[in-house]
Structure 1
Amino acid sequence: MYTLWLVGGIVILLLVKKLFDQKTEKRKKDAASSSSATQESDDSSSSGWDYEVFLSFRGEDTRTNFTDHLYNALLDKGIHTFRDNEALRIGEKIRPALLSAIQQSKIAIIIFSKDYASSKWCLDELAEIAESMKERGQGQIKVMPVFYNVDPSEVRNQTGRYGNAFREHEKKSDQDQEILKQWKKALEKVGELKGCDLKNTANGHEGELIKLIVNEVWNELRKNPLSVPNSMFGIHSHVEKMMKLLNNASEDRPIVGIHGLGGIGKTTIARELGELTDFVLPPMIG
């Protein structure tokens, strides 16, 4: 049994090393052919996805409670999730790195809390997400609105707190009217989508709502798996060998640890394993 685990681990390590070497080589070529500014632009438009989920939320409302619990629940499920760090914000303009994170995410979860619309930063994120919905065509971002103690009609029609927030924005003399229109249009568009309502979907139970969201994200990712890059073609034969080693007659439960830097293909390898058998891997390491 120990021998089987050892051989399986070696195969996985070899695959990960190959992916890591390819990624390192690509980075070297990018650095040699472009400046850091150009490289950032290239990264945001490259093929594939950097994140599986992008979280948009107002930190003062939900950062240390609902959003934090949701973020960790997604990570526990092995879902690569982007959560903005407010400490890194500079001014009120949405920074290029954040735009790139939105553009390179498969799913956007927008947590509409009571004061979400009072934040220009949140509204800029929302406008970018709404724009991504129409730009990508078949590969468009999947948007999942969460109405956290907010009625969907408040978001859609800008009434209640959302209406008050917009009146405050309109009072500011330096506020660009065109941007206001973009924000309103984005709220209308996303507010019309079917989402999760804390009060009506989970009877006010946050833990239950988080379970429902994570399950929906998981099912969506399984339905539309991350595209496998050309560099991974031919991996199937290696995976088949792994499955033969793991699918033994022993009653012991085999455990495979996949360790390495983020973005080198650990999750993709585990989906490849899942496509070939009903065998389920335990949570991955690293």
Structure 2
Amino acid sequence: MINVEVSSQEYHVFINHCGKDVKKTVASLVYHTLSNKQLKVFLDYKSLQQGQPFPLTIQQAIASASIHIAIFSNKYAESAWCLRELCLMEESGASIIPIFCGVRPRDLRKNGGVYSKSLSKHRLTRRVDGETVEKWRATLRRISYNYGFQFQG
């Protein structure tokens, strides 16, 4: 029997992002910049170790971090993982700093926009129930009003 130890490591910062869009660019840049300032930063591919239970380790990292950074990009809302993490971040009560990459804050709440279409697709494919989709929509709307950073490119 394999004994899997769950990490109880505490982090200062948790980085939430869509890997398809920004993992090797903006997310890595933020990770290295903050790590170089002696902060303990959680970024999935840098922080997860083989054998760790993925969802539980992420939940613990979110719960331990005093600052969360959400990097919003074009494909962000296509990821149920990103949206689940965002809700956990908000529920934790810690600060959430948004970084908007190629999207604007209003895109997170705009009907008919890329985020709205992705949320509708989650509902139509029935992989996620309507109540959860509405929770994600409300969370995105609230976070879209947080002061953050905007990169267009």
TM-score by length of 1: 0.47
Q: Please, which of 137, 142, 146 is the counterpart of residue 184 of structure 1?
A: 137
For structure 2, the residue ranges without an aligned partner over 5 or more in a row are: 49-53
What's the offset of the Cα at 1:181?
1.6
Q: Please, which of 104, 117, 125 is the counterpart of residue 77 of structure 2?
A: 117
Q: 1:61 — aligned with what?
A: 21
Q: 1:221 — aligned with what?
A: none
The number of residue pairs the alignment matches comes to 145
For structure 1, the residue ranges without an aligned partner over 5 or more in a row are: 1-35, 44-48, 89-93, 134-140, 205-286
What's the offset of the Cα at 1:178?
1.7
TM-score by length of 2: 0.84
Q: 2:51 — aligned with what?
A: none
Asked if the contact 1:54–1:102 (Cα under 8 Å) also holds between the matched residues in 2, the reply is yes
Asked if the contact 2:122–2:128 (Cα under 8 Å) also holds between the matched residues in 1, the reply is yes
- 3-state SS in 1 of match to 2:109: helix
Q: Which amino acid aligns with 1:171?
A: L
What's the offset of the Cα at 1:40?
5.2
Q: 1:167 — aligned with what?
A: 120
Q: Which amino acid aligns with 2:122?
A: H
What's the offset of the Cα at 1:175?
2.2
* Distance (Å, rounded) in 2 between the aligned partners of 1:108 and 1:158: 26
- 1:120/1:158 CA distance change after superposition, 3 Å: farther
Q: Please, which of 81, 106, 124 is the counterpart of residue 153 of structure 1?
A: 106
| RMSD, matched Cα | 2.4
Moved beyond 4 Å, runs of 4+? none
* Distance (Å, rounded) in 2 between the aligned partners of 1:54 and 1:110: 8
Q: 1:75 — aligned with what?
A: 35
Asked if the contact 1:108–1:144 (Cα under 8 Å) also holds between the matched residues in 2, the reply is yes
Q: Which amino acid aligns with 1:157?
A: K
Structure showing the higher strand proportion among its residues: 2
Structure showing the higher helix proportion among its residues: 1
Q: Which amino acid aligns with 2:137?
A: K
Larger relative contact order, structure 1 or 2 (CA cutoff 8 Å, min sep 6): 2
* Distance (Å, rounded) in 1 between the aligned partners of 2:15 and 2:102: 17
